[in-house]
Amino acid sequence: MEYSAATFQVNALGLTLLHPRGSEPNSQPPPTVNIVFVHGLRGHPRKTWEYPAPTRQDVLGTNDVGRGTVPTKKSHLLSNLKHKILKLSTRTRPGLQAAGSSGPGNGKETIYWPADLLPSVVPRAKIWTYGYNADVHVGFFQANNKNSILEHGNDFMMKVERALRDELPIIFVAHSLGGLVVKVAINDMQSSIVDQYKQFSRRIRAVVFCGSPHRGSDAVAWGKLATNLFAMALMDTNSRLLSDLQVDSRILSLIQANFLKALHREPLRIHSFQEGRALTGVKGLNDKVRIKQARHGTKPVLTLQVVDDFSSKLGWAPETFETIDADHREMVKQPGVQDISDILKDFEQDVVKAAQALNIGELRLA
């Protein structure tokens, strides 16, 4: 029972506050920032960021979360310290309970890291997860469909503005096509004639993209990206949707162009994570997919880098980027926890420093 596992209900649609929960308002220091997690195609506001809890002998030190390295004497000491922190967290946060508890209805021990681990890294952050109907639809990449990426972005803009009226700065963390949802929302906010959305956009300080498809070199490249994403989303089904897939590359290119313009108007901190490994065993793929020979046998293995290195970079000069040693699905689970958490800690500290500098400047002017 070393880890904590969030067992509270996560809304499938809309925003859910993950941290802080169940504490008296005056018992916590003032929050510094809102962090909002946004899942991708066929994702879920909990399951996208959740993974099986390690057993006692698999537990690593604090600096080794998700690394898969062998614990050293030092890492055992760090691990023990981490366990004490997590135990303290479960005492002060009634919404959480010790690990070994199950995720909702699955009967398995799980780590939901935005709720279970991230609060120990950024304890003063308000942490949210956002859910939307991300099922697969042939009109997802079309402009005139109610389930399109444009509609999802508009809905996200409206819901997040209603929920986050605390005046705190905002950081988004987006996986896969969730990155496009975030970009559409930011574009819509800045171009809106409604002042409340423009004001809200000025509170956004940073975006962390995880395997998000930012750009295609041409219409064919956009089509390949869309096919890869649909194939990944449908890899556990026998759906024929791939054959009906139509991609409006002009819409996807326009989202990217408008977002770059938005960055020039209101510069943000941007960090993009790339997938370091290919998916294997993906169904419904064409000859564009790399085929590897199985190491012990003659059966070929289908492999797919869902969003390639070129596409997963925004192409904006101040952007920083790095690789997570995992495939497109797993990069936001255990393998990515340490790196994503580190970036969020850096961004949160930058926000605090900027606020402190602003307060000092206001005092001097007064």
Domain that residue 211 falls in: 4-277+310-365
Residue 332 lies in a domain: yes
pTM of the model: 0.79
| 113 located within any domain | yes
Number of structural domains the chain divides into = 1
Q: Residue 257 domain-assigned? A: yes
158 has pLDDT over 60: yes
| Selection from 67-71, 100-104, 215-219, 330-334 with the highest mean pLDDT | 330-334
pLDDT band at 82 (very low <50, low <70, confident <90, very high): very low
**Spatial distance between the Cα atoms of 95 and 283, rounded to a whole number of angstroms:** 39
Does 44 score more than 90 pLDDT? yes
237 or 338, higher pLDDT: 338
Residue 287 lies in a domain: no
- Distance, in Å, from the CA atom of 276 to the CA atom of 328, rounded to the nearest integer, reads 8
Taking the alpha carbons at both ends of the chain, their separation in whole angstroms is 53
Number of neighbouring beta carbons within 10 Å of residue 198 = 14
Interval 175-204 mean pLDDT = 96
Quote the mean pLDDT of the chain: 79
Can you tell me the mean pLDDT for 340-366? 78
The pLDDT of residue 83: 45
- The confidence score (pLDDT) of residue 212 equals 94
The DSSP element (H or E) to which 265 belongs, if any, is helix 249-265
* Residue 321 belongs to a domain: yes
> Cβ–Cβ contacts within 10 Å for residue 137, how many?
17
| Residue-level pLDDT at 3 | 46
Please indicate, yes or no, if residue 289 is contained in any of the structural domains: no
